[in-house]
Amino acid sequence: MSLLSVEDLTVEIGGRRVVDGVSFDVAERGRLGVIGESGSGKTMTALAIVGLAPDAATVSGRVRLDGSDLLGRDDRGYAVLRGSRIAVVFQDPRTALNPVMRVGRQISEPLRLHRGLRRRDAAAAAVDLCDRVELPDPERIARAYPHQLSGGQRQRVGIAMALACRPELLIADEPTTALDVTVQAEVMALLSQLVVEDGTALLFISHDLALVSGVVDDVLVMRDGGIVERGPVAAVTADPGHTYTRQLLDAARRTSLPAEEEVG
């Protein structure tokens, strides 16, 4: 059964179609990767799903979550969903977190807003969530401000915020792009582990097909606003049917080579 159903999603900005008739489904507990280079329309697709497309954008088509229509809702209608049933981990934790608010308070806000927890209970839950995303000294982290944390720690905070209310669907928009390679692997492993534990469906957006191959079950490849290939991730990576998909795989393999091997 589909948890998220997207049918003929189109986003126009300034007369240009940045998303052009995109359709796909994400099953309950399913994990789908959306792959494409910058400007392919993958992030705009995600923003349209959660009602965060730019004001200048015209969005059409149909998006349903568990059978309920999402497109056309006002801000309040989306607000009751974001953080509770759908959550997002953004690309850059430096801009996703409030720089003047302590980390614990930011993690606890969804719990107070959507679950009605009292301040003290929400604060205790925030510390537990810091521990769950494997942050060292969770109580200290909860008292810290974002600038006092490393990039990898900030992204773990973002994951804790997103999963606080145990949403049905998590959208991860290139959540490791701003991190170094070692931290990328740690965050990817953590994210994969947590969504499995919670039974959360995952829509993972990336430019790196090789990176997501161990996290998602199925993948669709976007270019110029449309889908050029889709299928089980193992099949697509082993035998890509579209030239553009092969280019993405080749690029990912080149960037993963050690410097001396790449030169040789």
- What stretch of H or E contains 118? none
Instruction: Name the burial class of residue 10, with classes exposed (0-12), middle (13-18) and buried (19+) by CB atoms within 10 angstroms of its CB.
Output: middle
Q: What is the pLDDT of residue 94?
A: 80
Domains, the chain: 2-263 (3.40.50.300)
- What stretch of H or E contains 100? none
Q: Provide the whole-model pTM.
A: 0.91
User: Using 50, 70 and 90 to split pLDDT, how confident is the model at 261?
Assistant: very low
pLDDT in tens, 155-201: 999 999 999 999 999 999 998 887 888 888 888 999 999 999 999 99
**Residue 262 above 60 pLDDT?**
no
**Residue 260 above 70 pLDDT?**
no
Q: Which of 99-108, 116-125, 234-243, 250-259 has the lowest mean pLDDT?
A: 250-259
Higher per-residue pLDDT: 22 or 210: 22
Joined tokens for residue 143: 């008292």
In whole angstroms, give the CA distance from residue 169 to residue 200: 6
Q: What is the pLDDT of residue 219?
A: 96
Average pLDDT over the chain reads: 91
Number of H helices, E strands in the chain: 12, 10
**Residue 218 above 70 pLDDT?**
yes
Q: Which residues of 26-52 are buried (b: 16+ CB within 10 A; e: fewer)?
A: beeebbbbbbbeeebbbbbbbbbbbbe
Please report, rounded to a whole number, the percentage of residues in the chain having pLDDT higher than 90.
Answer: 77
Q: What is the pLDDT of residue 147?
A: 95
Q: What is the pLDDT of residue 250?
A: 84
pLDDT in tens, 76-112: 899 889 989 999 998 887 888 999 999 999 999 999 9
In whole angstroms, give the CA distance from residue 261 to residue 205: 29
Angle between helices 151-163 and 181-198 (to 10 degrees): 10
Q: What is the pLDDT of residue 162?
A: 94
Amino acid present at 207: H
**Residue 202 above 80 pLDDT?**
yes
User: Using 50, 70 and 90 to split pLDDT, how confident is the model at 28?
Assistant: very high
